Structure 1
């Protein structure tokens, strides 16, 4: 009995020592700043790869004093709009998002939703990284959001389960999932399709069940989200170039020491260059992979689609006010 008590006391003493030592040691390893970064897509997508690069640079340069925890696949929300609202509420610290939902927070972002705005990626990058892109990014600050750098999602293409789409008339009657974005919805109404806004987390099931006939997204989304499992046809319409952003809650950014603010901006820009490289690489490789997986790849008449969607400019240009001149400036370079 005495031996049992001695053993119990020894075990209790060892546990107490471990607890005390653990409590003392913990702050030595704890980060001074911890942030949550969320996005809506797969951890195989370039959004995530860019976010990993951002995390690596920040944590290395701060010797672990800043920790960035990554949450892909809508773990912090039900879609991009939800994640952006999380920035404003302070429940999410950093987000990688397309600009599609941004026009709901700042109207001037609709500039990037007009069809066939950019002739190629080089023009898009020059615009985003230049005065126009920096001006529009800065407008988010009054909404409590700090833009760090421009990523990209690539040119958007159409998929559906019904038929090949090579001309605007082929899209007539198709029920298509779109973002909750009135300009992009108008693009599909212009070709007499039926645009249906839906959070991204619901899309795969909706396609699987036939609630919608198709959707539109860049190739890396189509591939990494396994859209090929529920869709047969891909039409390389390239109707919209989809910029993306890595953004942060402004209140959280403002609380960082100035040297860390500068580091976040530098790391974001470095990660943006890497993310764009990954998007371009995946686009080139994954079209061929989609063919192997059984999708039929169609190359539509873009001039016909461009002509059919001109009405979108007439419908929404006036909403930009004096900043419609920015739209004209971009078009003049196209």
Structure 2
């Protein structure tokens, strides 16, 4: 599953291809409503995974309510997460789905989702938070706009679960383990606080690194552990209760702002349609995927930390929160304060 970084070559090839074929980039003026346009949309996951489901619901709405069409690219078809973001900012792609784990290099405040034990883990609470949060629906929009991105939707994908070469119940059990992290400084800080050695790797290298014991573990939502076959080479699943995987869907801002008002509204409505679907699709998904894993490999172990065991990790979370504030300054502190207010409201309702 090795995949080389090829963003520069890809951008050049796409630019040449579009020039030869007469295709327009995301920064060109839109085609007329009569002929419609083909818009390109890339995400980070495989066929049938959460981002793919969201993308197809977005496509379904656009194509049912306009003459436009959506071309979807899955993981690996245009490179990895960094590649598709570069292509979106360059206007080669009109839409991209990317998690804050990778966007954090552009938008440090997006790393807030990696502060452990900040968010609840119950499906219903998480969905309600994403629907109602001021931090999510207002403050993040401004942060993405600064990077030339029109934020259309942020949505949860699943509770984060750790896989490792041995079961883990305490920070001491993490000692000496290289745990793969996304290229995200705050996530690295989390696993450092947990007692492990954070090891940033692109997704394409993870399976092989687990197989060859270069790394001894990683974290992902259960559906991704299942679809990526990670349980085959990292067969001990640990439910730490420390957070949820979150992603964001966005458009190239120049492309979006250059559209007529009716197309902008069409895109907003399509994003809302896909968000509503995915927030009904997510609850229970983890349990269904866990059943598939256990059916495929019955010797997989499942460890669910007790409240007392979780507390030993919770006690280390404040140092990650402090590091987030140091990295993001006053803006990050304001975002974190609003984030907590939004969460408190959800938990009190």
Q: Normalised by the shorter chain, which TM-score bucket? A: 0.7 to 0.9
How far apart in 1 are the matches of 2:153 and 2:257?
16
Q: What is the deviation of 1:54? A: 0.5
How far apart in 1 are the matches of 2:88 and 2:125?
30
| Aligned: 1:316 with 2:290 | no
| Aligned: 1:325 with 2:328 | no
2:49 aligned partner: 45
Structure 1 runs not aligned, ≥5 long: 1-29
2:59 aligned partner: 55
Partner of 1:231: helix, strand, or coil?
A: coil
Does 201-210 or 51-60 show the bigger shift? 201-210
Going from structure 1 to structure 2, the CA distance change for 1:66 and 1:168 (only over 3 Å counts) comes to same
Structure 2 runs not aligned, ≥5 long: 1-33
CA RMSD in angstroms, aligned pairs only:
2.0
How far apart in 2 are the matches of 1:328 and 1:85?
31
Q: What is the deviation of 1:45? A: 0.5
Give the number of equivalent residue pairs. Answer: 302
Q: What is the deviation of 1:282? A: 1.7
Going from structure 1 to structure 2, the CA distance change for 1:278 and 1:237 (only over 3 Å counts) comes to same
1:76 aligned partner: 78
How far apart in 2 are the matches of 1:310 and 1:71?
39
Partner of 1:56: helix, strand, or coil?
A: helix
Tell me if the contact between 1:220 and 1:279 (Cα under 8 Å) persists in the aligned partners: no
Partner of 1:109: helix, strand, or coil?
A: helix
1:288 aligned partner: 291
Tell me if the contact between 2:100 and 2:247 (Cα under 8 Å) persists in the aligned partners: yes
Tell me if the contact between 1:149 and 1:246 (Cα under 8 Å) persists in the aligned partners: yes
Task: State which structure, 1 or 2, has the greater radius of gyration over its C-alpha atoms.
Answer: 1
Q: What is the deviation of 1:206? A: 1.7
Structure 1's consecutive aligned runs of 4 or more residues displaced over 6 angstroms after TM superposition are none
2:304 aligned partner: 299
1:105 aligned partner: 106
Partner of 1:156: helix, strand, or coil?
A: strand
How far apart in 1 are the matches of 2:211 and 2:302?
20
How far apart in 2 are the matches of 1:276 and 1:69?
23
* TM-score (structure 2 length as normaliser): 0.81
2:92 aligned partner: 91
Q: What is the deviation of 1:230? A: 1.3
Partner of 2:162: helix, strand, or coil?
A: strand
Going from structure 1 to structure 2, the CA distance change for 1:321 and 1:195 (only over 3 Å counts) comes to same
How far apart in 2 are the matches of 1:226 and 1:123?
29
Q: What is the deviation of 1:284? A: 1.9
How far apart in 2 are the matches of 1:90 and 1:326?
29
Going from structure 1 to structure 2, the CA distance change for 1:97 and 1:238 (only over 3 Å counts) comes to farther
Give deviations 1:199-230, integer Å, cap 9, x for gaps.
11221222222221111011111111111221
Tell me if the contact between 2:162 and 2:220 (Cα under 8 Å) persists in the aligned partners: yes
Q: What is the deviation of 1:137? A: 2.7
Equivalent residue in structure 2 for 1:228, among 204, 228, 231: 231
Going from structure 1 to structure 2, the CA distance change for 1:226 and 1:31 (only over 3 Å counts) comes to farther
| Aligned: 1:265 with 2:268 | yes
How far apart in 2 are the matches of 1:279 and 1:201?
25
Q: What is the deviation of 1:288? A: 2.3
Give deviations 1:302-324, integer Å, cap 9, x for gaps.
22211133211222223332331
Q: What is the deviation of 1:297? A: 0.6
How far apart in 2 are the matches of 1:126 and 1:327?
18
Q: What is the deviation of 1:191? A: 2.1
Alignment of 1:1-334 (within 5 A): 32-62=36-66, 65-78=67-80, 80-120=81-121, 121-129=123-131, 130-134=133-137, 135-161=139-165, 163-292=166-295, 293-294=297-298, 295-300=300-305, 301-323=309-331, 324-331=333-340, 333=344
Q: What is the deviation of 1:126? A: 4.3
